[in-house]
Chains A and B, each alone.
Chain A
Amino acid sequence: MIRYIIRRVLFLIPVLIGVAFCVFTLLYLTPGDPARMILGDMATEGAIQEFRAKEGLDKPFLLQFGHYIYKAVTQGDIGRSYITKRPVMHEIMTVFPATLKLSAFAIVVAILIGLPCGILSAIKQYSIFDTITMIFAMVGLSMPVFWLGLLLILYFSVYLRWLPSSGFDTFKAMILPSLALSAQSISMITRMTRSSMLEVVRADYIRTARSKGQKESVVIWIHALHNALIPVVTLCGLQFGHLLAGAILTESIFAIPGVGRLMVESIKMRDYPMVQGGVLFVAVAFSVVNLLVDLVYAYIDPRIKAQYK
């Protein structure tokens, strides 16, 4: 098991370097001279030249990339904001907890609703419950996050005045954003759980369990569910990553001070190092979450665990 973990962690390194490369290249290709952006329009040509030399901006692309990686790894420095002039990492770390809280809350909501709905749908395939759940899941899947967020605000904040439309400090304030953000994940988890259950229920080993004279409830809840959950766990991990990305839209609608809103503001002000830093940060968080999910996956699926004993 230890070997498996080490292997997976080592495998993460080239992926992260690759992500950093993509992000760096995109920033490099973005129009605008970073030196001028940081120093401002009033800076003299000499000052700009000096700054370029100091920051290594006159070096070839690959050297610059090496420098970027070096600074990122040794100092956690992924650039400086054009607007606030503060380090990007610092700015992100101040707002990241809010994003993490929102995403974590949303994935919990998604699992708590999606899993039971999917299981019941599969057990009662073709029932009215199944049909309604599946239509709802499809609607949830087709609903733009930002529109759902606006609708929720319209109904619960403006019309009913039950819940606040912005902020993220109280439990009440967390309800609407989490609901809006988790809608797609609820749908995905419901659909995946259902189809996975339906597939597993037809498996030969389920027939074996029945041929032992086992009760149908035990067949479903012990034999089928454990097997059906294996792909669902992977999906939940992937969804958590997408929630981190989806939070960008949700945060901007509910005015939550998180990485997403920071990025949207930065995009509006063309603060590119901030945007790219945010992308890099979320991508790293996504990869780490996926790594954790893979470890859980190995734990619940003995076939994987055994390969790395």
Chain B
Amino acid sequence: MSNVADTIHDAGTAYVRKKKRGALAEVLFRLRKSPLAMFGLCVILLLIFVAIFADLLAPYPYQKQNLAHMFETPSKQFLLGTDEFGRDILSRLIYGARISLQVGFIAVGIALVVGGMLGAVAGYYSGWIDNGIMRVMDVLLSIPQTLLAIAIAAALGPGLFNLMIAVGISAVPNYARIVRGSVLSIREMEFIEAARAVGSSDLRIILKHIIPNSMAPIIVQSTLGVASAILNAAGLSFIGLGIQPPYPEWGAMLSGGRQYIRDYPHLTLYPGLVIMFTILALNFLGDGLRDALDPKLKR
């Protein structure tokens, strides 16, 4: 009996091992085949680099006004021109990357931690806990996300930190739902049964087994989530609820340049382009990751 089982088992593992690269390497390998996703990844890495080294890269400080050079179109001195206070637009965009990326990543971090925990608990325990949590999420989901962010931001008042909270909290239900969904499907699998049988605690099972196994949809949602968080934050700043002047948030820059659009369109053109390319890059990356992580597409 045993040697037959062993034969099958050996053959099986050999078969699997031959195909298996590391999980990360496998994803990267498949991501490389999508040029758009790679483009997205490069743009994001470039932006992160710019945000970190903004002090070194920016030709001028972001708040430096130069009233002798107001509304200048792009020139050698000011590569992307200057705004209504004669501030260098390029420098402001570079510092703006810092703010926008911070808002995007931290807001998603907040949403992920809060939503992820709620979703994991709801999915793992089911019953009335699940019911209670998910009904609250239903309520939050019945308010469109932008609107929820506006409502929270209006209550909290303007400021970078409040902006992150508002954008983050408004995205919580999305993560709660995704995590709950994958927990529900994983919970019934046999290796969880096995872990329970050997006496692992609930917390250990959630942290060690369930969360790692529901990573794929979470990674995809987070990537796309950073995009929508940046977009939402820019929208809030645009209507005056987010970052206040003189901080160079991209949406606030757009908002500031708006009244001069007929005569000096470059004030709104460049911040808009930067926002669009950032979001585009994140969306391409998110889409590529979804395809790369989707087990259905594995051969």
Contact = CB atoms under 8 A, between A and B. Distances in A.
- Any A–B CB pair closer than 8 Å: yes
Interface of A: 14-16, 18-19, 21-23, 26-27, 29-31, 138-139, 141-147, 150-151, 153-154, 158, 241-242, 244-246, 248-249, 252-253, 263-264, 267-268, 272, 275-276, 279, 282-283, 286-287, 290
A22 B262 CA distance: 41
A256 B280 CA distance: 29
Given A158-B261, A244-B147, A275-B151, 16 more contacts: A15-B138, A18-B138, A18-B139, A26-B154, A27-B155, A138-B283, A142-B276, A142-B279, A142-B283, A144-B251, A144-B254, A249-B239, A264-B239, A267-B241, A283-B143, A286-B142
A92 B170 CA distance: 24
Contacts of B217: none
B142 A275 contact: no
Given A26-B155, A267-B240, A144 B147 contact: no
A177 B145 CA distance: 21
B136 to A, nearest CB: 7
Given A147-B276, A154-B261, A279 B146 contact: no
Nearest to B147: A245
Given A26-B155, A139-B280, A154 B143 contact: no
B261 A283 contact: no
B268 interface: yes
B238 interface: yes
B139 A144 contact: no
A60 to B, nearest CB: 20
Given A144-B276, A249-B239, A287 B150 contact: no
14 contacts: A18-B135, A23-B151, A31-B157, A138-B280, A142-B231, A142-B279, A143-B279, A147-B268, A242-B145, A248-B147, A279-B150, A282-B147, A283-B142, A283-B143
B272 A248 contact: no
Contacts of B147: 244-245, 248, 279, 282-283
Nearest to A27: B155
**Top-9 shortest CB links A-B:** A18-B139, A147-B272, A245-B144, A142-B279, A142-B280, A26-B155, A245-B147, A279-B151, A283-B143
Q: Is the interface of A mostly helix, strand, loop or mixed?
A: helix
Interface string B138-167: 111011111110111011010000000000
Contacts of B138: 15, 18
Given A139-B276, A142-B276, A145-B235, A248 B150 contact: yes
Interface of B: 36, 135-136, 138-140, 142-148, 150-152, 154-155, 157, 227, 231, 234-235, 238-241, 251, 254-255, 258, 261-262, 265, 268, 271-272, 275-277, 279-280, 283-284, 287
Contact of B235 (A14, A144, A150): A144
A30 B258 CA distance: 29
A307 B107 CA distance: 40
B173 to A, nearest CB: 12
Given A153-B261, A249-B238, A141 B151 contact: no
Given A146-B254, A147-B268, A147-B272, A272 B154 contact: yes
Contacts of A282: 143-144, 147
A127 B33 CA distance: 18
Contact of B146 (A14, A16, A31, A248): A248
Contact of A245 (B146, B251, B284): B146
A27 B262 CA distance: 38
A41 B144 CA distance: 35
Given A142-B227, A150-B268, A263 B150 contact: yes
Contacts of A23: 151
A23 B36 CA distance: 41
Most buried by A among B36, B145, B154: B154
